[in-house]
Amino acid sequence: MKEKYPLLEIIDKTGKLVPNAYEIEITEEEVKRFYYHMIRLRIYDRKGRALQRQGRIGTYVPFEGQEASQVGSALALQSDDWMFPTYRDHGATLTFGADLDRLLLHWNGRVEGCVPSKEKNIFPAAIPIATQLPHATGAAMAETYKGTKNVSIAYFGDGATSEGDFHEGLNIASVFKAPVVFFNQNNGFAISVPIEKQMNSETIAQKAEAYGIPGVRVDGQDVFAVHFAVTEAFERARRGEGPTLIEAVTWRFGAHTTADDPSKYRDQEKSEQMRDDLDPLLRLERFMKNNEMWEEEWITRIKQEIEHELDEAIARMEAYEKPNPADMFDYVFEEPTWTIAEQKEMLRRSVK
């Protein structure tokens, strides 16, 4: 099946164009736009882990290594399209235009951080696995009924393909030709479970055959390949030709979450040794240097601007008034049940 679903690659690990790859025009402006967003996510992600270790936010979900997949796909969206992320796709949401302050409040456990943005069609991050796939299908169908050309994208990991929602989302989208892209980031593990213990299929892309839709397999460390594949799938969807399943073969260097110890189930030293070949940021940097697009002054300036942007946002997050613990009881039901009212009263008495 890997022969039938070859890995689409446009730039290799040395930053050179792959011979006989798709002929696409890559402008310096576009390359720098990719790099800006990818370095912004790398700096943000490392700050997120540091904040958690310092006790300044709660559990954090890192994504280092998956920046090309998230940036390449998010930049293919148009402003009125829909994004359905998982808990690991905050890089994609930031790239699409999510509010940084609100995202930090989310990781700080604040109710305010869970309020969807009014500026962008970004669904709240799905914590349950694969539940966002039927939602993305429904939103895409709604746009079709309204007569728009808007599309949706659903992000999910390899573990989500073991869930019933995966089948339901793809099946309904296929039947109704919903303009949706199902974007899988296959990093080889669903927490500690390796992909070979989840399925006998050689690829995730081949699962598209069961639904009569196109399946595409792409190098998730190559931002150009990801962007090209997703853009092509969106164009197909806007023409009314239905959904596409894309498998981005990627690698996450860190833990599943900051509550996880990946050394229990994989060799972390080997993972770091693979960085030279697999780090998507290194690959793009090499491409820029090979093509005389690397400008040290510009790189230094944008890194400083990003650091300043993040530091100011963190300061605003930490300046927020302390949250009311009773808020956790107020958004479960429209009218609280007697059990919830009792628990809220117990909390009130205990914090006096």
Residues 42 and 108 reside in one and the same domain: yes
Residues 258 and 332 reside in one and the same domain: no
Whether residue 256 lies inside any domain: the answer is: yes
Residues 316 and 350 reside in one and the same domain: no
CATH code at position 89:
3.40.50.970
Please state the domain count of the chain.
Answer: 2
Residues 195 and 249 reside in one and the same domain: yes
Give the contacts of 257 (CB within 8 A, at least 6 positions apart): 59, 60, 61, 62
In 3D, which of 252, 219, 214 has the Cα closest to residue 235? Answer: 214
Number of C-alpha atoms within 13 angstroms, CB side, residue 31? 21
* pLDDT tens series, the chain, 352 aa: 788 899 999 999 999 999 877 777 789 999 999 999 999 999 999 999 999 999 999 899 999 999 999 999 999 999 999 999 999 999 999 999 999 999 999 999 888 888 887 889 999 999 999 999 999 999 999 999 999 999 999 999 999 999 999 999 999 999 999 999 999 999 999 999 999 998 999 999 999 999 999 999 999 999 999 999 999 999 999 999 999 999 999 999 999 999 999 999 998 988 999 999 999 999 999 999 999 999 999 999 999 999 999 999 999 999 998 888 888 888 788 888 999 999 999 998 887 6
Residues 191 and 334 reside in one and the same domain: no
Residues 95 and 206 reside in one and the same domain: yes
Q: Beta-carbon neighbour count of residue 170 at 10 Å?
A: 26
CB 187 within 8 A of CB 66: yes
Q: How far is residue 52's CA from residue 186's CA, in Å, rounded to a whole number?
A: 25
Strands 244-249 and 189-190, bridge-based pairing = unpaired
What's phi and psi for 186, nearest 5 deg? -95, 100
Element (H, E) at 245: strand 244-249
Whether residue 2 lies inside any domain: the answer is: no
Q: How far is residue 89's CA from residue 76's CA, in Å, rounded to a whole number?
A: 15
The domain containing residue 345 runs over which residues?
324-352
Residues 117 and 175 reside in one and the same domain: yes
CB 188 within 8 A of CB 194: yes
What type of residue sits at position 171?
A: N
Residues 237 and 331 reside in one and the same domain: no
Alpha carbon 55 to chain centroid distance? 24
Give catalytic residues, as residue numbers: 252, 256, 265
Helix (H, G, I), strand (E, B) or coil at 349: helix
Residues 201 and 250 reside in one and the same domain: yes
Whether residue 182 lies inside any domain: the answer is: yes
pTM above 0.75, yes or no: yes
Residues 329 and 292 reside in one and the same domain: no
Q: ∠ CA 169-189-183 to the nearest 5 degrees?
A: 35
Residues 262 and 293 reside in one and the same domain: yes
